[in-house]
């Protein structure tokens, strides 16, 4: 890589090397030869330019197969065109093949080859018409060392021809010798050295990578005198100091180790200049780029070489008069400029003269670092207000300050990110808004001369409402005419205030506002017309959202669900026990203090037209275990079985019954709904024979296995708890535990 870069700088590239496979220069007609192009990176697999008889044949990477005679060459992107190689395809019976490639000083292998090797009896080789050697049938090639460019070779072969002997002669072949290394060139750095300064001589040439077995050695000469220590492996020679008498013609030689190849460069004339003022440079204190407005600036003018009295002067571009002048016997001088201001910035240079003419230094641009002013932060939103999902641009800009300026952006003093303004001015930071991005924003400007902070700028991010959720309170799918239902609508997300609209079958019922967010309610007194789908909408000015519809069924008060389930239970018992079991069951009923409105047979009284088919739920298996038949006949407390019947109805009150075999214990208990359920007890030996209904309206059945029902009492809406109970005929509840009792 370094060699390639060096050659590019010098304007010359090493030659590519064309190889043949098989490695011979002549072939019989019909045979195929593969061309391989190499450069200093060995095989070139990138794009290769192939040439035939000096004309571009094609461009393709890797290798190229040929069957046509002619001169072939190649070139890669990192090399110049290779030396042409002649490849011949002959129709003769006998041909002389020479090995390829052959570098300067290398031996060459010659092979005499016939179309039918088995017919050849003897081969003879010739150089420039003179016999070299002859061999028998079993020796097919010879080695010639070393070949010369002008030498011509051919061979003869004697073979059997029918019943006689015939001699065949090949066409003459010239050996194509490749250059081992180019002729060296001598360069000097510097090319025109100044008296008293060092100089470096370099002998430039290179070996192809295919000749890595060789090493080059170098020797430098001044006129006829060898320099240094003679032959060296280094292509460079460093001369610490040259004087005017060292002006002369210089040249170098390069030779390959283990070879007799040696090449000499052309002469290079070097003229050593007399010692005069040179290497004039201008330096500043503080260094360039670190001067701050208000500080002192010191300009230091120096000369690398020179003798005698030197006059120094300082100048600013655009100004005719010099800034100062000093004459002294020294190689450096200073000029101080006090308390620089912004208008002092510009390009400065100095000059040094020791009677041979002024030598100017390079221009130095003096720039002042100006501390940044407190920046101004502005927020740019797409609309009049910032909405969640918007991309807001935070723009921070200091009106004065030297670049580059690094801007840091903050939200509630927490860094968000930074942006660099390499040429000064302001910088921006884009932020995709979420609800958490509300708050105060600020920014800082820093150009390494002190950090300046802006004033805080508030930002309120408005969040569009999400799809609201509509619910009923109590959460029921059915309600009764006259009930007051709370319609609840709530959006989980959204900036306040939020306006909620309530709909029945897409007809607006009303609206209410949630000024601080959250949900809102709407109370509705139900009539039969209120059955249907309900929904709600939420809007906070950023787009309205609608909830999913929720259905509500409104029923009358002619028969409640308790009555429906009770009728269903009786129908099921009658179908299982038959008419006889039903008669026995009725005969053991002992009503006591039956309330008004309860039929003697224990069936609830009501309008048959308003009767609805009860729904049946299987027995609950999650409660306490049933008592087994093996328990003693002593006093035994019936185990409760729970079944949720009408969850959500605050008006239901339930009774608890306890029964023993010899002692009648019937203790009513009322439970206000917390977890709405029906309590009942089953006992196999006996049931409470005497049940006092009183105001509780308890129904007792003496049957083995006995089933005891508990009436569900309905509290009058207007009366106090425990009084003004409704008709007990509407207070029966189907008890899912009956099937378990029958199993026992």
Q: What is the CATH number of domain 466-555?
A: 2.60.40.10
Distance of CA 676 to the CA centre of its chain: 56
Return the domain boundaries, the chain.
12-174, 185-270, 278-366, 375-459, 466-555
Burial (CB count within 10 angstroms: exposed 0-12, middle 13-18, buried 19+), residue 730: buried
Distance of CA 560 to the CA centre of its chain: 65
pTM of the prediction?
A: 0.36
629: Cβ–Cβ under 8 A, 6 or more apart, which residues?
Answer: 684, 744
Burial (CB count within 10 angstroms: exposed 0-12, middle 13-18, buried 19+), residue 348: buried
95: Cβ–Cβ under 8 A, 6 or more apart, which residues?
Answer: 26, 27, 28, 88, 112, 113, 114, 170, 171
C-beta of residue 277 within 8 angstroms of C-beta of residue 356: yes
Task: Please report the pLDDT score of residue 636 as a whole number.
Answer: 33
Q: What is the CATH number of domain 278-366?
A: 2.60.40.10
| Cross-strand bridge partners of residue 391 | 432
Q: Tens digit of pLDDT for each residue in 582-617?
A: 455 445 444 443 333 333 333 333 333 333 333 333
Nearest CA to 93 out of 22, 169, 161, 152 is that of: 169
Distance of CA 656 to the CA centre of its chain: 69
Nearest CA to 481 out of 555, 564, 561 is that of: 555
Q: Looking at the domain covering 185-270, what would its CATH class be?
A: mainly beta
Task: Please report the pLDDT score of residue 178 as a whole number.
Answer: 80
Nearest CA to 402 out of 455, 444, 445 is that of: 445
CA neighbours closer than 13 Å in the CB half-sphere of residue 668: 20
Nearest CA to 337 out of 367, 290, 294, 370 is that of: 294
In order of 9, 228, 239, 292, the CA distances from 236 in angstroms are 17, 11, 10, 46
Task: Please report the pLDDT score of residue 449 as a whole number.
Answer: 86
User: Do 185-270 and 375-459 share a fold?
Assistant: yes
Task: Please report the pLDDT score of residue 704 as a whole number.
Answer: 39
User: Residues in the chain with pLDDT < 70?
Assistant: 1-12, 40-45, 134-139, 146-149, 209-210, 307-308, 557-744
Task: Write the DSSP symbol of residue 611.
Answer: -
C-beta of residue 625 within 8 angstroms of C-beta of residue 727: no
| H/E stretch holding 677 | none
Which CATH number among 2.60.40.10, 1.10.260.40, 2.170.120.20, 3.40.50.2020 corresponds to the domain 375-459?
2.60.40.10
C-beta of residue 118 within 8 angstroms of C-beta of residue 127: no
Nearest CA to 671 out of 733, 624, 617, 718 is that of: 733
Pairing of strands 457-459, 426-432: unpaired
586: Cβ–Cβ under 8 A, 6 or more apart, which residues?
Answer: 601, 602
Distance CA 699, CA 722 (A): 19
Q: Which fold has domain 12-174?
A: Immunoglobulin-like (2.60.40)
196-219 burial, b at 16+ Cβ within 10 Å, e below that, comes to bbebebbbbbbbbeebeebebbbb
C-beta of residue 428 within 8 angstroms of C-beta of residue 450: no
């Amino acid at each position: 890589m370094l060699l390639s870069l060096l050659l590019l700088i010098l304007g010359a590239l090493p030659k590519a090397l064309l190889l043949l496979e098989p490695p011979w220069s002549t072939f019989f007609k019909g045979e195929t030869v593969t061309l391989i192009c190499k450069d200093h990176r060995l095989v070139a697999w990138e794009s290769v330019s192939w040439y035939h008889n000096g004309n571009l044949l094609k461009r393709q990477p890797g290798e190229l197969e040929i069957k046509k005679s002619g001169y072939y060459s190649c070139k890669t992107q990192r090399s110049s065109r290779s030396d042409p190689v002649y490849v011949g395809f002959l129709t003769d019976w006998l041909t002389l093949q020479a090995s390829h490639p052959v570098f300067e000083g290398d031996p060459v292998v010659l092979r005499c080859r016939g179309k039918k090797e088995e017919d050849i009896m003897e081969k003879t080789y010739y150089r420039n018409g003179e016999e070299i050697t002859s061999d028998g049938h079993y020796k097919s090639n010879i080695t010639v060392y070393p070949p010369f460019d002008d030498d011509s070779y051919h061979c003869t072969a004697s073979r059997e021809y029918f019943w006689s002997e015939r001699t065949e002669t090949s066409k003459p072949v010239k050996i194509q010798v490749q250059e081992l290394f180019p002729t060296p060139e001598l360069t000097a750095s510097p090319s025109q050295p100044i008296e008293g300064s060092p100089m470096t001589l370099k002998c430039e040439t290179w070996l192809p990578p295919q000749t890595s077995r060789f090493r080059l050695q170098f020797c430098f000469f001044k006129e006829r005198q060898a320099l240094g220590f003679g032959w060296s492996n280094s292509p460079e020679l460093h001369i610490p100091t040259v004087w005017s008498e060292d002006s002369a013609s210089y040249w170098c030689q390069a030779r390959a180790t283990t070879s007799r190849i040696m090449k000499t460069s052309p002469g290079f004339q070097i003229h050593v200049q007399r010692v005069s003022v040179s290497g004039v440079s201008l330096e500043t204190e503080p260094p360039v780029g670190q001067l701050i407005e208000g500080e002192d600036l010191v300009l230091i003018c120096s000369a690398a070489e020179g003798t005698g009295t030197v006059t120094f002067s300082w100048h600013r571009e655009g100004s005719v008069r010099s800034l100062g002048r000093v004459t002294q016997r020294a190689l450096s001088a200073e000029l101080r400029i006090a308390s620089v201001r912004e208008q002092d910035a510009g390009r400065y240079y100095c000059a040094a003269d020791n009677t041979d003419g002024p030598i100017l230094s390079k221009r130095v641009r003096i720039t002042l670092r100006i501390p940044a002013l407190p920046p101004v932060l502005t927020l740019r939103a797409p609309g009049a207000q910032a909405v969640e999902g918007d991309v807001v641009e935070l723009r921070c800009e200091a009106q004065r300050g030297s670049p580059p300026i690094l801007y840091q952006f903050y939200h509630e003093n927490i860094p968000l990110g930074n942006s660099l303004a390499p040429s000064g001015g302001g910088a921006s930071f884009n932020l995709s808004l979420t609800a958490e991005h509300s708050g105060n924003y600020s920014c800082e400007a820093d150009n390494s001369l002190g950090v300046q902070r802006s004033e805080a700028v508030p930002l309120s991010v408005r969040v569009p409402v999400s799809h609201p959720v509509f619910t009923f309170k109590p959460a029921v799918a059915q309600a009764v005419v006259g009930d007051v239902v709370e319609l609840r609508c709530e959006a989980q997300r959204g900036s306040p205030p939020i306006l909620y609209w309530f709909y029945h079958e897409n007809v607006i019922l009303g609206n209410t506002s949630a000024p601080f967010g959250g949900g809102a309610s709407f109370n509705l007194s139900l009539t039969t017309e209120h059955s249907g789908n309900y929904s709600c909408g939420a809007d906070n000015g950023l787009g309205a959202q609608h909830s999913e519809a929720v259905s509500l069924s409104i029923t009358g008060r002619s028969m409640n669900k308790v009555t429906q389930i009770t009728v269903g239970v009786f129908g099921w018992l009658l179908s299982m026990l038959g008419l006889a079991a039903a008669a026995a069951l009725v005969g053991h009923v002992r009503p006591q203090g039956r309330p008004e409105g309860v039929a003697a047979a224990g069936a609830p009284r009501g309008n048959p037209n308003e009767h609805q088919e009860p729904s049946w739920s299987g027995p609950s298996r999650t409660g306490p275990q049933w008592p087994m038949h093996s328990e003693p006949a002593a006093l035994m407390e019936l185990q409760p079985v729970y079944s949720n019947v009408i969850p959500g109805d605050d008006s239901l009150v339930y009774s608890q019954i306890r029964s023993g075999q010899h002692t009648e214990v019937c203790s009513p208990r009322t439970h206000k709904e917390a977890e709405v359920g029906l309590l009942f007890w089953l006992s196999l030996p006996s049931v409470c024979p005497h049940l006092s209904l009183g105001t509780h309206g308890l129904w007792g059945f003496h049957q083995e296995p006995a089933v005891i029902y508990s009436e569900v009492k309905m509290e009058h809406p207007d009366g106090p708890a425990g009084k003004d109970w409704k008709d007990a005929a509407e207070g029966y509840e189907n008890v899912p535990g009956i099937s378990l009792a029958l199993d026992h």
